A and B are shown apart, each in its own frame.
Chain A
Amino acid sequence: MKVLMFGWEFPPHILGGLGTASYGLVKAMAGKPDMNITFVIPKPHGDEDQSFLKIIGASYVPVVWKENDWNYVNERIGWIMNPDEYFWLRNGIKYDFRRIYTNDLGCIEFSGRYPENLLEEISNYEAVASVLAHQLSFDVIHSHDWLTYPAGIFAKQISGKPLVVHVHATEFDRSRGNVNPIVYDIEKRGMDAANHIITVSNLTRNIVIEKYFQDPKKVTTVHNAVEPLPDVDSYVKTPRRDKIVTFLGRITMQKGPEYFVEAAERVLKKNKKVRFVMAGNGDMMLDMINLAAKRRITDRFHFTGFLKGRQVYQMLADSDVYIMPSVSEPFGISPLEAMQVGTPTIISKQSGCSEILTHSIKIDYWDIDGMADAVNAIIRNPAMYKSLHELGREEVNNIRWEDAGEKVIKIYNSLLGK
């Protein structure tokens, strides 16, 4: 089975959870028999792992016919794409896209990030999809998140192949209710056009059904998983006098950082031997520093700024408790990462991952008393820490992408009438 997949990010150059999740999924799927995946992203860097799938960079697909000789093309993009492939794809140009700004090769230069002109990039991505849809052969189209829905729809219209859209998040999660109508429109059109919709949690599934008016029969939940950590044993908890309680993620409205600060104040009222760490960056960081100061806990409340790579896991491993108080989290991979290094977690019930985790404390994001109580229970009761530490790790090691991949393949098969 050949799958044409549209994504926006791919490791190692990732900006959020979308890249990690789509990578884990396709890697697992590629391991199954008779699976041939072509993964399109706006702008590859050339250091992506292509051992199990083929990556096509939209930035190197011609959408406007330009006459170039082989050697010139080789000189320009030979480092990432075979010139023969360029010329072959060029034959797929069936429409006039000269209204779009292109470079000397007739290619669009994507940023591959989330720039100001994101909407323009999304529609340009559509143009690339048309060329690929004409030229490649495939059985199913799979679009990851709203940025790639228009591309998926266009590819479906051209090829007549079934379209699967994968909802990693909705506008309702990102905006805490303040929905951008343009984004909503793109999402809704993608879901309407899809033959099947995959959501990362039942929470998201309900939003898709209720807020986007989709037929429940065509919406299936496939929970995310987590890649095993190869160097898991290298993260060792540094012994400290004080207990460490951590928030790690973007400091934005969606993640509910203010509830973490409020819970910290309540814990510190009773127990001074705790330190709270807010790791990450975001538009609410200054507000949080102000709030911590207002609550007079800054002597025990620390900000680390943005962490990456090993630092993330080291921070998690050094923590006694990890809290994710997200107001709305379609899935939320970070608690699973914390559990991998054996850190007890407290997660909000408004998160998708709470649907599949048992060895984690679940509270409503607004329940700061409950959150403080749970923190206290974990740091005061060795039995509580030990249970969450051991059983949590065991649990997360059994959440595998292979199972998620199998579910997705099952959906493909049903669409293809197999």
Chain B
Amino acid sequence: MKNLCFYFEIHQPMRLKRYRFFDIEQDHYYYDDFQNEERIRLLAEQSFLPANRTLLEIIQNSNGKFRCAFSFSGVVLEQLEQYAPEVIDSFDELSKTGCVEFLAETYAHSLSSVYDLHEFEQQVALQTEKITSLFGKKPTVFRNSELIYSDEIGEKIYNMGYKTILIDEVSHVLGWKSPNFVYSHPTLPKLKLLVRNFKLSDDIAFHFSDHSWSDFPLTADKFISWIKNMPEDQPVVNIWLGYEALGLFQRPESGIFEFLKAIPFFALQNNIGFLTPSEIAKKIEAVDMLSSPEPISWSGIEKDISLWNGNDLQQEALNKLYAVGERVRLCSDRPLRHDWLMLQSSDHFRYMSHKDAFGTYYESPYDAFMNYMNILADFLLRVDEQYPTTIDNEELNALLNTIYELEKEVESLENELKKLRSRKKTES
């Protein structure tokens, strides 16, 4: 039996406000609230809410046979809570049907898996905590920001307790292999890799309403027939896309919601089922392993991570940011910790790309870089105030350890004192 796996990504970075170098040390608020609110309201009204309504209807009409998965960054959840709380409620409603799975990822939709593994671990914990508190389900399957993956990152994720990871169909990793199977990590046979069907996913996400596309118009009937006509032994087709494709990129008048509604009907008619990623991992065995020594992602022609770190500007910004990771994690200042997360969203670096600054609201990559670096300069000064960069990390650690040990000693001495006092009391 063949299966379809629908998974939708939901992420929006906190957009940064125009921040001039005169503002450094003067202004510690970095976000463009007006723009963020407008963006989130737009997404909620045009995409998230109508799409959720559609999915709920599909699930109910198919008696729970239709199933799908979502991933949220913590950054977008914070914004939804603030500007469109009804979206959270609506996802909660979907979650209650039991047909929806939530995936683990990094809180900030960050590149921490490549630049700062400690940070990576913390962010995943933070995000899963947030998901659990909102929807009452702890994620068990992992998808990294931008589907960034390499053997090394896979191992790290495995050590964090995840046995299933989502990756993209990248030709230099798959070679002649089909994405419609389950694979495993080369050295960790228990770690399963699910692979996105790149063509079919993009057909919905980007081509659906494209009149010049040769397969236009795309109907559910046609779409399912493509899947039906695939070789019998291919067990699963992974259709993964950004959620805003429904309603925003593909307008409601293009018929995208009707298309979705018709999918389960034709699928079930043709004996094609629906599974969530964790169900796939449970039911379907890996047929082979996939090795990716270099990081891959789901963006760009090369499908590497050069859209975020390919040029000098991006490298400079990333290096400056992640150089203070250890220090920031020592800080207990909450606003500082929050800004640290918000500044890590991969989007900020994508806007600096000369190749493809997808989703940018800046006039040029240089503009994006200048603004980001001004904010970062202020942020770094704040970090410096707490833990001066003049002291190097090891020295700092040593000092902190000393303090920590002294504290411990004080504590044990106090305990001893208490004991002695109480003994004295009993004696007297």
| Interfacial residues, chain A to chain B (CB-CB below 8 A) | 266, 269-270, 358-359, 361-362, 369-370, 372-374, 376-377, 381-384, 386-388, 391
Which residue of A266, A269, A372, A384 contacts B366 across the interface (Cβ within 8 Å)?
A384
Q: List, in ascending order, chain B residues with CB within 8 A of A376's CB.
A: 21
Residues in A with CB closer than 8 Å to B367 are: 361
Query: Per-residue 0/1 for B293-322: is the Cβ within 8 Å of any A Cβ (1 yes, 0 no)?
Result: 000000000000000000111011100000
Take A361-B364, A377-B373, A381-B373 as given contacts and tell me if A387 and B22 are in contact as well, using a CB distance cutoff of 8 Å.
no
Interface check B336, CB cutoff 8 A: no
- Are A369 and B22 within 8 A (Cβ)? yes
Q: Is the CB of A384 within 8 A of B354?
A: no
Knowing A369-B22, A387-B312 are in contact, say whether A377-B369 is a contact too (CB < 8 A).
Answer: yes
Tell me the complex Cα distance, A384–B364, Å: 13
Chain A neighbourhood of B374, CB < 8 A: 373, 377
Assembly CA distance A203 to B354 (angstroms) = 24
Set B20, B363, B370: member contacting A384, Cβ < 8 A: B370
**Contact, CB under 8 Å: B312 / A377:** no
> Is there an interface contact between B21 and A383, defined as CB atoms closer than 8 Å?
no
In whole Å, how far is A309's beta carbon from the nearest beta carbon of chain B? 31
Closest A residue to B24 by beta carbon equals A270
Chain A residues with Cβ below 8 Å from B313 are 383-384, 387
12 A-B pairs within 8 Å (CB atoms) are namely A266-B22, A270-B21, A362-B364, A369-B22, A372-B21, A373-B20, A377-B21, A381-B316, A382-B316, A386-B312, A387-B312, A391-B354
| Overall SS of chain A's interface | helix
Q: Which residue of B is nearest A373, CB measured?
A: B20
Q: Is the interface of B mostly helix, strand, loop or mixed?
A: helix
Query: B154 → chain A, closest Cβ, in Å?
Result: 31
Q: Which A residues are CB-close (under 8 A) to B315? A: 383
Q: Smallest distance from the beta carbon of A272 to chain B beta carbons, Å?
A: 14
Contact of A388 with B316 at beta-carbon distance under 8 Å, contacts A266-B22, A373-B374, A377-B373 already known: no
- Which residues in A have their C-beta under 8 angstroms from that of B316? 381-384
B residues apposed to A, CB below 8 Å: 20-22, 311-313, 315-317, 354, 363-364, 366-367, 369-370, 373-374
A222, chain B: closest CB distance, angstroms = 24
A344 to chain B minimum Cβ distance, whole angstroms, is: 9
Give A270 to B366 CA distance when docked, in angstroms. 21
The residues of B that contact A270 with a CB separation of less than 8 Å are 21-22
Complex: chain B residue closest to A369, CB-CB:
B20
Other A-B contacts than A377-B369, A377-B374, 11 sampled, CB-CB below 8 A, are: A266-B22, A270-B21, A361-B366, A361-B367, A362-B364, A373-B21, A383-B313, A383-B317, A384-B369, A387-B312, A388-B366
A389 to chain B, nearest CB (A): 10
The 6 nearest A-B residue pairs measured at CB: A383-B316, A377-B370, A383-B312, A376-B21, A373-B20, A387-B312
* Residues from chain B with Cβ under 8 Å of A391 in the complex: 354
**Given A381-B316, A382-B316: A387 touches B364 (CB 8 Å cut-off):** no
Please, which residue of chain B has its CB at the minimum distance from the CB of A375? B21
Q: Across the interface, which residues of B come within 8 angstroms of A358, CB to CB? A: 354, 364
Which residue on chain A has the smallest CB distance to residue B377?
Answer: A380
Would you give the shortest CB distance from B348 to chain A, in whole angstroms? 15
Which residues of B lie under 8 Å from residue A359 when comparing CB positions?
Answer: 366
Contact of A387 with B370 at beta-carbon distance under 8 Å, contacts A270-B21, A373-B21, A382-B316 already known: no
The answer to whether B21 and A387 touch across the interface, beta carbons within 8 angstroms, is no
Contact indicator B370/A374 (Cβ below 8 Å): yes
| Chain A residues within an 8 Å CB radius of B312 | 383, 386-387
Q: Looking across the interface, which residue of chain A has its beta carbon closest to that of B25? A: A270
Q: Which of B21, B311, B316, B373 lies at the interface centre, i.e. has the most chain A CB atoms within 10 A of its CB?
A: B21
Give the residues in chain B near A362, CB-CB below 8 Å.
363-364
Q: How far is the CA of A386 from the CA of B364 in the complex (A)?
A: 16
**CA distance in complex: A317, B21 (Å):** 26
* B20–A387 touching, CB < 8 Å: no
- The residues of A that contact B373 with a CB separation of less than 8 Å are 377, 381, 384
Shortest Cβ distance from residue B361 to the other chain A in the assembled complex, whole angstroms: 16
Looking at the assembled complex, report how far the CB atom of A384 sits from the nearest CB atom of chain B, in whole angstroms.
6
Residue of B nearest to A361 (CB): B366
For A381, the closest partner residue in chain B by CB is B373
Complex-state Cα separation, A381 to B366, whole angstroms: 11
Can you name the residue of chain B whose Cβ is closest to the Cβ of A385?
Answer: B312
C-alpha spacing A270/B373, complex, angstroms = 16
B contact residues around A372 at 8 Å (CB): 20-22
Q: In the docked arrangement, what's the CA distance between A384 and B367, Å?
A: 10
Q: Which residue of A lies closest to B373 (CB)?
A: A381
Q: A391 to B22, alpha carbons, bound, how many Å?
A: 28
In the complex, residue of chain B having the shortest beta-carbon distance to the beta carbon of A271? B21
* Docked pose: A159 CA to B316 CA in angstroms: 63
Most A CB contacts (10 A, CB to CB) among B312, B354, B369 go to: B312
Closest to A376 in B: B21
| A387 → B minimal CB distance (Å) | 5
CB distance from A48 to the nearest CB of B (A): 40
- Given A369-B20, A373-B370, A373-B374, A387–B363 Cβ distance below 8 Å? no
With A and B bound together, what is the CA distance between A382 and B20 in angstroms? 18
| Neighbouring A residues of B311 by C-beta, 8 Å | 387
- Name the residue on A nearest B20 (C-beta): A373
Please report the C-alpha to C-alpha distance between residue A384 and residue B320 in the assembled complex, in whole angstroms.
13
- Which residues in A have their C-beta under 8 angstroms from that of B354? 358, 391
CB distance from A243 to the nearest CB of B (A): 14
**How far apart are the CA atoms of A347 and B279 in the complex, in Å?**
57
With A and B bound together, what is the CA distance between A370 and B22 in angstroms? 11
Query: For residue A266, which residues in chain B have a CB less than 8 angstroms away from its CB?
Result: 22
Q: In whole Å, how far is A379's beta carbon from the nearest beta carbon of chain B?
A: 11
Residues of chain A lying within 8 A (CB to CB) of residue B370: 361, 373-374, 377, 384
Looking at the assembled complex, report how far the CB atom of A320 sits from the nearest CB atom of chain B, in whole angstroms: 15
Closest chain A residue, CB of each to CB of B370: A377
A391 — nearest CB in chain B belongs to which residue?
B354
Taken together as a complex, chains A and B put the C-alpha atoms of A369 and B20 apart, in Å, by 7
Residues of B within 8 A of A361 (CB): 364, 366-367, 370
Closest residue to A377 on the B side, CB-wise?
B370
Residue of B with least CB distance to A387: B312
Q: Which residue of B lies closest to A358 (CB)?
A: B364
Minimum CB–CB distance for B302 against chain A, Å: 19
**Neighbouring B residues of A373 by C-beta, 8 Å:** 20-22, 370, 374
Q: Nearest Cβ in chain A — how far from B217, in angstroms?
A: 35
Please measure, in the bound complex, the distance between the C-alpha atom of A406 and the C-alpha atom of B374, giving whole angstroms: 44
Chain B residue numbers with a CB within 8 Å of A374 are: 366, 370
* A387 CB contacts on chain B under 8 angstroms: 311-313, 366
Complex: A373 Cα to B20 Cα, angstroms: 6
- A362–B311 CA distance with the chains assembled, in angstroms: 20
User: How distant is the Cα of A386 from the Cα of B22 in the complex, in angstroms?
Assistant: 23
Greatest chain B CB density within 10 A among A362, A383, A388, A391 is at A383
CB-defined contacts of B21 to chain A, threshold 8 Å: 270, 372-373, 376-377
For B369, list chain A residues within 8 Å (CB).
377, 381, 383-384
- Determine how close the nearest CB of chain A comes to the CB of B375; give it in whole angstroms: 12
Query: What's the minimum C-beta distance from A358 to chain B, rounded to whole angstroms?
Result: 7
Q: How far is the CA of A102 from the CA of B194 in the complex (A)?
A: 89
A83 to B313, CA, bound (A): 64
A235 to B178, CA, bound (A): 56
In the bound assembly, the distance between CA atoms of A266 and B373 in angstroms comes to: 18
- Bound: A382/B313 CA distance, A: 9
**Which among A361, A373, A382, A388 has the highest number of chain B CB atoms within 10 Å?**
A373
Q: Min CB distance, A218 to chain B, in Å?
A: 31
B188 to chain A, nearest CB (A): 37
